[in-house]
Amino acid sequence: MPTLFIQRLSQTRITHTSEWIDPGTASMTALPLMGRVSAGRPLEAIEDPNWIEVPEQLAQNAQFALRVRGDSMTEDQIEDGDLILIQPRPNVSDGEVVVALIDGNEATLKRFFRESNHIRLQPAKTGMAPLRYRLDQVEVIGTVTAIMRVVTSGQHDLDD
């Protein structure tokens, strides 16, 4: 039976503890699954609303979920196919993991840094270059509050 592998994010880092949640016994609630976000080069933001069951304790800090596509955030333990829970918040601190909209139509998942005359969106993968944009090109949609991964039995070695 599948379980959920959960990691929570504080403002600037992923907690070192992870949780295993059995969706069959946990209190669950529905959040809108708004589509996909690129963990790589920004891709066109297309909303494809659906609903997904998430643990109530995580839904308290999020308004919607997105499915991750790509591997630029693997050093933050965000993998291709993971679900990320998002709390809309346009004002963020340096180092937070955000969903950012570029030029009003392309979205990406990266760490956010405001620098002197531009925004740096930093991947969490060695060897990948940061993305840099003018201040007026980037709109923060929200911050990642949790990462969820569906895991089948025998895969519980993820947090070792």
- What are 14-41's pLDDT values in tens digits? 554 566 777 777 788 899 998 888 887 7
CATH of domain 3-151: 2.10.109.10
Residues assigned a catalytic role: 72, 110
Chain segment 69-82, per-residue pLDDT in tens: 999 999 988 999 99
**pTM of the predicted structure, to 2 decimals:** 0.82
Contact between 119 and 66 under an 8 Å Cβ cutoff? The reply is no
Confidence of residue 45 (pLDDT cuts 50, 70, 90): low
Contacts for 4 with CB less than 8 Å, ≥ 6 apart: 20, 21, 22, 23, 26, 55, 148, 149, 150, 151
Report pLDDT for 160: 43
* Neighbour-count burial of 47, counting CB atoms closer than 10 A to its CB (0-12 exposed, 13-18 middle, 19+ buried): exposed
